[in-house]
Amino acid sequence: MALRLLSFGLEEQTMQVTTATSDALQKYLDLASDQMKLTAANMANVDTPGYKTQGFDFAQEFSRALGTSASSAVAVKASDVEGLTARPDGNNVSMDREGMQLAKAQLEFRAGVSLLRSQYTRVMDAIHSDSK
């Protein structure tokens, strides 16, 4: 979150306001977004012969992301999803499964946004508490 500060009208300065919680929530939102992109790619390849459904373990990837610095982006380690039934052309994408994955990722993203909004509200309340 960036705050703009005016120094007696002379120049505008920007200050970053982050916490460990907001950094973790940012990583959570990035992973939820990656999950939606991967699910969309699976859905787009539903008719591609030989295509194998890709996925990743959200909890494991989130734990891995939390172990990195706040500014570093971590590439998700996607792999073929095992245990799915393949059609005669070798494609194993299930639109039912992908629809459920997409709904789950959307709920995770919305929950993350709600938590991040709450976190920023607390930070802003703390900043403005002296002015009351």
Give residue-wise pLDDT tens across range 54-77: 999 999 999 999 988 766 677 889
Q: Is residue 39 part of a domain?
A: yes
Which runs of consecutive H residues, i.e. helices, occur in the chain? 20-44, 58-66, 95-128
Q: Is residue 9 part of a domain?
A: no
Q: Is residue 68 part of a domain?
A: yes
Q: Is residue 70 part of a domain?
A: yes
With a cut of 70, say whether residue 1 has pLDDT above it: no
Please tell me the predicted confidence (pLDDT) of residue 121: 87
Q: Is residue 89 part of a domain?
A: yes
- How far is C-alpha 53 from the geometric centre of its chain's CA atoms? 20
Q: For 84, left (φ over 0), alpha (ψ -120 to 50), or beta?
A: beta
Instruction: Identify the residue with better confidence: 18 or 107.
Output: 107
Give the confidence band of 86 by pLDDT, cuts at 50, 70, 90.
very high
Q: Pairing relation of β-strands 2-6 and 79-80? A: unpaired
Q: What percent of the chain has pLDDT over 70?
A: 83
Q: How many domains does the chain have?
A: 1
Q: Is residue 90 part of a domain?
A: yes
Q: 12-16, 49-53, 119-123 — which is least confidently predicted? A: 12-16
Q: Is residue 45 part of a domain?
A: yes
